[in-house]
Amino acid sequence: MEFSAQQIAGLLNGQIEGNADVKISKLSKIEEGEPGSISFLANPKYVQYIYGTKASLVIVNKDFVPTEPVTATMIRVDSAEIAFSKLLEMYNQVKLNKTGISKLGFISESAKTGENIYLGEFAFVGENVKVGNNVKIYPQVYIGDNSVIGDNTTLFSGVKIYSETQIGKNCIIHSGTVIGSDGFRFNPQNDNQKIPQIGNVIIEDDVEIGANCAIDRATLGSTILRKGVKFDNLIHIAHNVEIGENTYIAAHGVVAGSTKIGKNCMFSGQVGIVGHLEIADNTIITAQSGISKSITKKGEVQMGSPAFDANKYRKAYIHFRNLDSIVQRLNTLERENKQ
Amino acid sequence: MEFSAQQIAGLLNGQIEGNADVKISKLSKIEEGEPGSISFLANPKYVQYIYGTKASLVIVNKDFVPTEPVTATMIRVDSAEIAFSKLLEMYNQVKLNKTGISKLGFISESAKTGENIYLGEFAFVGENVKVGNNVKIYPQVYIGDNSVIGDNTTLFSGVKIYSETQIGKNCIIHSGTVIGSDGFRFNPQNDNQKIPQIGNVIIEDDVEIGANCAIDRATLGSTILRKGVKFDNLIHIAHNVEIGENTYIAAHGVVAGSTKIGKNCMFSGQVGIVGHLEIADNTIITAQSGISKSITKKGEVQMGSPAFDANKYRKAYIHFRNLDSIVQRLNTLERENKQ
Amino acid sequence: MEFSAQQIAGLLNGQIEGNADVKISKLSKIEEGEPGSISFLANPKYVQYIYGTKASLVIVNKDFVPTEPVTATMIRVDSAEIAFSKLLEMYNQVKLNKTGISKLGFISESAKTGENIYLGEFAFVGENVKVGNNVKIYPQVYIGDNSVIGDNTTLFSGVKIYSETQIGKNCIIHSGTVIGSDGFRFNPQNDNQKIPQIGNVIIEDDVEIGANCAIDRATLGSTILRKGVKFDNLIHIAHNVEIGENTYIAAHGVVAGSTKIGKNCMFSGQVGIVGHLEIADNTIITAQSGISKSITKKGEVQMGSPAFDANKYRKAYIHFRNLDSIVQRLNTLERENKQ
């Protein structure tokens, strides 16, 4: 795809300054611009780069006043940042606009599929599955029996969805993620027998899940990710967990069985949360922390393993770093007292 | 599948109280019961829910005496808990009872397959592989050359098994798990050259492995999971590790190369264990702990990173939380001594 | 494959001692030798095993003088260790020497493939993909549009490569690893809208990546793994990260967005690194540590979460373990001062 400065200016409702005939075919950072790419300048910190950039086209704010000559063609808009992110989105939509049902895929006869879906090669759709409109099922995806996939949802290559899973609208699930595997429950008192896991997973609308996550089905009932939940990569969610609306979990997060997490929480990387807890809305947890008790007050920030109030933790940790000198002070006091 | 109260009572050898004609088609928790579902009441803590439940059928203990009217039909049995878990198991067996070899799968000519196996679409079985009776190979599974899969084992969609792997009977391996990838061994002294990894992985009977785990083959010899080992999701097992019988490892556990773990151990989530150690039987390790030394005494409980005795750790950690006041006490003493 | 002692001696330029007619078909450790296997003895610690080994053939150093009778045939060479690793490598090359393009795979018409490639069953090669010579694409691999795979690279079963990814020569990527998934970026200020991720991933030559890793594409620009990088299993690399030449990351490592890591670093298991940092060359980080600040001095060793100098950490941690007795000393001093 190639676009002229003229076309881009039209799309963004901007004004051209310089050669209107240049053509671009990709997007770049201004400091990494190449001939044929379009960049943007919004942050004043980056202004130096516009004078040397090799990008053919740069989107700038209306009121930008260059102090040196600019060789790239400029397009002036109300907000360079918003205009550029609009371009990013359009680019992505074109790139990801796969359609058509491959003859090398497999759809069970009892499955029902909506309009305008994409089904890639070697993808599998099980019995009684319902696939909504505009759903994109990339190659090698597996959708187990009786599952439901809502409109406009995208399942990237190799996503594995066990039976009875319900996924809402406008969700994005990245490659390698497994949804609906069995909860980790055995009975050590009874010869380590497996406790059957016959619940399911429910994922509401607007959820995005990164690559290679694993989200277990409930023992009975449902493991639930509420509307707008966002997961990074390699996250583990155990059986019967519930994650509240718009909560973010960064890479390698772990939530153990039956824990309920509130809305709008933010967990940094490698956070672990013990089972059977309740975590209040707006909780923030710092990286590598371990939560071993329920958090009942909204908006707390916790740190450490086991975690407690982050400010207190940081203060204690400063002393921890100085423990050697603290012990030396103690030695001195003991010597003085003996004398 | 729909069953009448009569049929369920027959299966469970129980007595009906109420409308014997109700029909059920799913299982639910008593507090989440819906018309057409069957629940159970065993724990007295949940007794309140039976008076309002919408479940059509509830299994109760023989001696249960309601104190308010119950609208659901009840089935009285010796133990409501055992009866319900019997139902769970039957339900699961029916659900997972896939059979037949898909024409869209691939089995090498030199492979040998047992009776009554299931081979799903786009599954691959390599050269000289031996597949036992009643094995279930879900869609998109890969089984590399010369591997052996024992009777009654289930490999869920997308499991990847490298060549020469041996898997025992009655094992369950969840989606996305990789078995037999190369150990992480290079020679930094010799231009970072790869050390060939030509051993294999041996998994004994009755092992269950969660989703998206990675279990490396041995450099030479075998990485071994003994009978009854249970793994949660996203676990890493390095080359030449051995895990003893019935040991449990929770999500995100990491065991580094050549470490030998004893029997009946229990490791909580995100535990890490250094390479070349020996860990005694019945060891318990708390979440996020890191084991850096061999544990020779059976039944120890360890905590921390690096870990030591859990009771000592908890005591030290209480002081850590109070370090600020400890330092203030020190300040006071120093002031007093100066005066 | 079966080889005679004669053939092996010829390959290794060694001298036979004992029965030259024995045949071997596999490699083993000397302490686990079986009839039909070949082992080696280099480390004097293992010399005891040669007298009882059941291996048919043992490679020994030229100057090895047995003190008891050896029943296995011996091959004397300049260095038993080097000779054996040569054998390992040859064995591996034969084992992994897959070729041919399966009719059950899929290659887009616009893709270009080099000579002597292997394409396994149910593998997918997207539009405009360029695949070099001698590339091995195992069953169920996915290569998204416009990606480039360099000569001699191996992608094991189930690797998922998103569009626009560039992979160099002589790379090995293990099963389940995902390359090019979206960075974890949303705008909580703007209704949690997704920030489009339109950059890519660039992997240079001689990189090896373990199983079930997840490497995100850049928001704009590239996430880059430099020449010779080695990753263990289950590693997460966020958008726009750069990893320097020959850096090693052990299992469960996490590097957050936009961080730049230097050359020849070594990170142990479960290490986490915060976003937007710079880590100097030759940095060593101990297991489970968390790096929250840039490291500017080359060759530092850091430990802890948050991490600091490892020696200081170890000293502080010894005091931490003794905190209870430290507090008791403080109690005693306070009592003395009161009197």
Q: What is the pLDDT of residues B108-118, one digit of tens each?
A: 999 999 999 99
The pLDDT value recorded for residue B1 is 65
Burial of A191 (0-12, 13-18, 19+ CB in 10 A): exposed
Confidence (pLDDT) at A187: 86
> Which residues of A are less than 8 Å from B333 in CB distance?
333
Question: In the structure, what pLDDT confidence band is assigned to residue A79 with cuts at 50, 70 and 90?
Answer: very high
Which of these, A174, A178, A180, lies nearest to A146 by C-alpha position?
A180
Q: Is the CB of C196 less than 8 angstroms away from the CB of A85?
A: yes
| pLDDT tens for each residue of B120-167 | 999 999 999 999 999 999 999 999 999 999 999 999 999 999 999 999
pLDDT interval class at A163 (50, 70, 90): very high
Strands A284-285 and A266-267: parallel
Chain-chain contact of C308 with A288 (C-beta, under 8 angstroms):
no
Q: What is the DSSP letter of C182?
A: P
Provide the 3-class DSSP secondary structure of residue A321: helix
Q: Residue B214 pLDDT > 70, yes or no? A: yes
Q: What is the number of alpha carbons within 13 Å of residue C57 lying toward its C-beta?
A: 30
Which pLDDT value is given to residue A337? 86
Domain boundaries, chain C: 3-95, 100-314
CATH of domain B100-314: 2.160.10.10
Average pLDDT score over chain A: 95
Contact: B327, A330; criterion CB under 8 Å: no
Model confidence pLDDT, tens digit, residues C307-321: 999 999 999 999 999
Compute the nearest-CA separation of C218 from chain B (Å).
24
ipTM of the complex: 0.93
User: Does residue A70 surpass a pLDDT of 90?
Assistant: yes
Pick from B208, B257, B258: which is nearest to B233 by CA?
A: B208
Task: Write down the CATH superfamily of domain C3-95.
Answer: MurE/MurF, N-terminal domain (3.40.1390.10)
Bridge partners, residue A278, by sequence:
A260
Q: What type of residue sits at position B51?
A: Y
Which has more confidence, A2 or A16?
Answer: A16
Percent of chain B residues past pLDDT 90, beyond the cut: 86
How do strand C178-181 and strand C160-161 relate by DSSP bridges? parallel
Which tens digits make up the pLDDT trace of A21-66? Answer: 899 988 889 998 999 999 999 988 999 999 999 999 999 999 999 9
Chain A residues with CB-CB distance to B327 below 8 A: 319, 326
Segment 293-332 of chain A within 8 Å of chain B by CB:
305-306, 308, 312, 315-316, 319-320, 326, 329-330
Euclidean distance between CA atoms C330 and B327, whole angstroms:
10
pLDDT at B35 over 80: yes
Single-letter residue type at A12: L
> Does the pLDDT of residue B96 top 90, yes or no?
no
Residues 211-240 of C with CB under 8 A from A: 212-214, 216, 220-221, 234, 236, 238
Q: Name chain A's partners: 3 or more CB pairs within 8 A.
A: B, C
A1 has a pLDDT exceeding 70: no
CA distance B118 to chain A (A): 14
Instruction: Identify the pLDDT of residue A162.
Output: 98
Nearest to C316 among A122, A230, A324 (CB): A324
Nearest to A232 among C178, C184, C329 (CB): C184
CA distance B189 to chain A (A): 32
Q: Does residue A96 surpass a pLDDT of 90?
A: no
* A239: Cβ contacts below 8 Å, ≥ 6 apart: A182, A183, A184, A185, A197, A199, A216, A217, A218, A219, A223, A257, A258
pLDDT tens track for C222-239: 999 999 999 999 999 999
User: Which of A144, A196, A254 is opposite residue B269, by nearest beta carbon?
Assistant: A254
- A246 lies within 8 A of chain C by CB: yes
Cis bond leading into C66, ω under 30°? no
B339 pLDDT tier (thresholds 50, 70, 90): confident
Interface test mutation site (partner C, options A323, A332, A334, A337, max chain C beta carbons within 10 A) = A323
pLDDT digits over C6-40, tens only? 999 998 999 999 998 899 988 889 998 999 999 99
pLDDT higher than threshold 90 for residue A17: yes
Which residues of chain C, if any, have pLDDT below 70? 1
Tokens for C229, please give them: 């990088």
Q: Tokens 């090359």 map to which residue?
A: C93
Among B257, B254, B250, B259, CA closest to B229: B250
Residues of B in contact with C211 (CB under 8 A): 160, 178, 181, 214, 216
pLDDT digits (tens, 9 = 90+) for B295-312: 999 999 999 999 999 999
pLDDT > 90 in chain A, percent: 86
User: Long-range contacts: C158-162, Cβ < 8 Å, 24+?
Assistant: C158/A140, C158/A158, C158/B140, C158/B142, C158/B158, C158/B160, C158/B178, C160/A140, C160/A156, C160/A157, C160/A158, C160/A175, C160/A176, C160/A211, C162/A156, C162/A157, C162/A175, C162/C201, C162/C217
Q: Between the CA of residue C147 and those of B289, C200, C223, C236, what are the distances in Å?
A: 40, 10, 14, 21
Report which residue type is found at C109.
Answer: E
Average confidence (pLDDT) over A263-267:
98
* Chain B residues closer than 8 Å to A302 by CB: none
**Residue C221 and residue C239 in contact, taking contact as beta carbons nearer than 8 Å:** no
What would the pLDDT profile of A308-327 be if each residue is shown by its tens digit?
Answer: 999 999 999 999 999 999 99
> How far is A182 from A194, CA to CA, in rounded Å?
10
* pLDDT over threshold 90, residue A208: yes
The residue in chain B having the minimum alpha-carbon distance to the alpha carbon of residue A140 is: B140
Q: Do residues A85 and A103 touch, judged by C-beta distance below 8 A?
A: no
Q: Is A142 on the interface with B (CB under 8 A)?
A: yes
CA distance A158 to chain B (A): 8
Q: Could you say which DSSP state residue A205 is in?
A: T
C252 touches chain A (CB under 8 A): yes
Q: Do domains A3-95 and A100-314 have the same CATH topology?
A: no
